[in-house]
Amino acid sequence: MENNPPYPPNSGNPYQNPQGNPYQQNPYQQGFGGQRDLSNATAILVLGIISIVTAFCYGIPGIGCGIAALIMGNKAKKEYEANPSMYTESSWNNAKAGRICGIIGLILGGLMLLVVVLYFIFVLSMFGAIAGGMAN
Amino acid sequence: MLTCPVKEYSGFDCPGCGFQRSLEQLLQGHIWESVLLFPALIPFFVTLVLLLLHLRFRFKNGAKWLVTMYVITAVILVANYTFKLLNGSI
């Protein structure tokens, strides 16, 4: 007599939980139905929010935070849209919010950098004009 | 206090100038003086506190409220800076 089990492996065995032991859940899984948080949703939100305070030191830190929030936000958007039922809605909302804040911070930081660059170009050209005038 | 690098090298205020003076006034309990110096300070702190509470307690509409507060802060910042520019106080 063959020693095979009376059922094919991994199908139809009523005593085998396909999800594994329910008491050893993945710590990253939250909510119902095995949904988990989008990776980096919290980081996107925090970066997006702090991009506004850092937008004014020549605009550079704000631009950095804004770009980081935007890139990570776009990645999270792709992940979510590929498989919406896999991720929690709250983390998706956080990622969306962080992305919007990041875009605003990026615009403000970009404007600030533009103003500073234009100002220094203006000052340098004035110096150049004065120096040229003195040389003549 | 930290010196604003934009002001140090260019001589004009950046949109974030007034933040530290405003914070100093707020810490001394002078709320109105703080608002006059930098009106976006209080909305910004409200946004930060909301962010921390939202990350801890996961409010249902927390993300929407955060974006709303953020936009309010940004609008106040830009309006304040525009007013200062037009007013000639920088």
A78-124, pLDDT tens digit by residue?
Answer: 999 998 889 998 899 999 999 999 999 999 989 888 888 898 898 88
For residue A76, pLDDT over 90 is answered with: yes
Residue B66 near residue B54, CB atoms below 8 Å: yes
**pLDDT score, position B53:** 95
Domain ranges of chain A: 41-135
For residue B4, pLDDT over 70 is answered with: yes
How do residues B43-69 score in pLDDT, each as one tens digit? 999 999 999 999 999 899 999 999 999
**Could you give the angle at the alpha carbon of B80 between the alpha carbons of B74 and B82, nearest 5°?**
100
Query: pLDDT confidence of A8, banded at 50, 70, 90?
Result: low
Q: How many residues make up chain A in this entry?
A: 136
Q: Give the Cα separation of A6 and A8 in Å (integer).
A: 7
Cβ–Cβ of A90/B5 closer than 8 Å?
no
Cβ–Cβ of B74/A94 closer than 8 Å?
no
For residue A17, pLDDT over 80 is answered with: no
Contacts of residue A6, defined as CB under 8 A and 6 or more positions apart, other chains included, come to: none
Burial A47-85 (b: 16+ CB within 10 A, else e): bbbbbbbbbbbbbebbbbbbbbbbebbeebbebbeeeee
Residue B65 near residue B50, CB atoms below 8 Å: yes
B65 in reach of chain A (CB within 8 A) = no
Cβ–Cβ of A101/B67 closer than 8 Å?
yes
Cβ–Cβ of A49/B47 closer than 8 Å?
yes
Chain A environment of B44 (Cβ under 8 Å): 52-53
Strands (E) in chain A, as ranges, are none
The letter for the amino acid at A91 is S
